[in-house]
Chains A and B, each alone.
Chain A
Amino acid sequence: GENVEQHPSTLSVQEGDSAVIKCTYSDSASNYFPWYKQELGKGPQLIIDIRSNVGEKKDQRIAVTLNKTAKHFSLHITETQPEDSAVYFCAASNTNREGYQKVTFGTGTKLQVIP
C-alpha cells in the first residue's frame, strides 16, 4: 500500500518568513495530493491540492509543487502570519483495485509562526 512520509514534524518561523513542508510517497499510481490544515480543536480542512498532471499550483500565499519522478511534493507558505499556526497534513490519493479512492496521510507538521 501507499506510504507517505512528512517532514519536519515541527517547524517554527518568524512572522513574514516562508515555511516549507515536504512529503514523499511510495505508490507511483497516486495521482492526487491534497494538503490539510488542522487548527486546535477542529478537524482538518482542505487548503490546496494538486493533481499528477500538474507540477505546481499557487493560491495567494500558498503554493504546492509536485515532482512525480522523485515522488515528492511540497507545501510553501510565504509571508507567514500568526493565523497560519496549525498542524498541516499532506496526503496522497489513488483509486484502489475496485476503482474507489483511498487517501493516505502524512504524520503532520506542527507549524508555529512567531509574531
Chain B
Amino acid sequence: DVKVTQSSRYLVKRTGEKVFLECVQDMDHENMFWYRQDPGLGLRLIYFSYDVKMKEKGDIPEGYSVSREKKERFSLILESASTNQTSMYLCASSRRGAFFGQGTRLTVV
C-alpha cells in the first residue's frame, strides 16, 4: 500500500514563527502536493512538485514556500506564520490518483 506520512498530526505555533511541515512518501511517485482544507472551501492547492528540486505554484501560494530536495520528501514552509494560516494541511503524492497523508492540523496563535 502507498504510504504518505506527515510529520505531525497537531501543531500550535505563534504568529511570526517559521513553520516546517514535512511529508514523506514511499511509492517513488514523481508528483507531490500540498493542500489546505478549510470548512466550506474544500481542498485548495498550495504548491505541487513534479520532480526533485522542481516546484510549481498552486491556487493559493501566498505566504508559503516548498522544498523538494529528495524525491520522497516534500516540505511546506510558512516563513512567518499568521493566524489566517490556521488550517488542516494535507500532503499527497500521485502518479494518477492522489494518496493523502493523515493531515496536520496547524493552529497559529
Contact = CB atoms under 8 A, between A and B. Distances in A.
A28 interface: no
B42 A46 contact: no
Interface stretch (A11-19, A66-74, A105-113): A105-113
Interface centre among B42, B90, B92 (most CB of A within 10 A): B42
B-side interface size class: 20 to 34
Label chain B's interface by main secondary structure: strand
B97 A46 contact: yes
B64 interface: no
Interface in A74-113: 89, 91, 93, 96, 98, 100-108
A100 B33 CA distance: 12
Label chain A's interface by main secondary structure: strand
A34 to B, nearest CB: 5
Interface of B: 4, 30-31, 33, 35, 40-45, 48, 50, 56, 59, 90, 92, 94-103
Given A43-B102, A44-B98, A45-B100, 12 more contacts: A42-B103, A44-B90, A46-B97, A89-B42, A100-B30, A100-B50, A101-B96, A103-B94, A103-B98, A104-B45, A105-B42, A107-B41
